[in-house]
Amino acid sequence: MPPVKLIECDQALSLRRGFRLCWEHRQACHVLQHPAGVIELNASAGWVLELLDGQRSVAAVIERLAQRFPGAPGLAEDVLAFLEVARAKSWVE
């Protein structure tokens, strides 16, 4: 099995086909809808996933979040770690 390539900042990611990010008013949170069900997301996961459009690079996503949350420690590392988990769960491609 070849080694897994880590997500790089110049990559542009998007939600996997069949997945849709929505705001759930009753639960006051983002949810990720997919053919097998619904995944309730925490706020930071929703903020990251809503910026993935297949055009914007991961670096641009991190920059947008840094503008929204100035001074947040470890932001880039946290975003990259979350995206690795999201890719491992096949939420993004």
What residue spans define the domains of the chain?
A: 20-88
pLDDT at 5: 81
Paired sense of beta strands 37-40 and 20-24, if any: unpaired
Q: Would the pLDDT of 84 be above 80?
A: yes
pLDDT at 1: 62
Q: Would the pLDDT of 77 be above 80?
A: yes
**pTM for the full model?**
0.91
- The DSSP code sequence of 27-38 is TTEEEEEETTEE
Topology, domain 20-88: Arc Repressor Mutant, subunit A (1.10.10)
For residue range 1-46, list pLDDT tens digits in order: 666 688 999 999 999 999 999 999 998 999 999 999 999 999 999 9
- The DSSP 8-state label assigned to residue 5 in this structure reads P
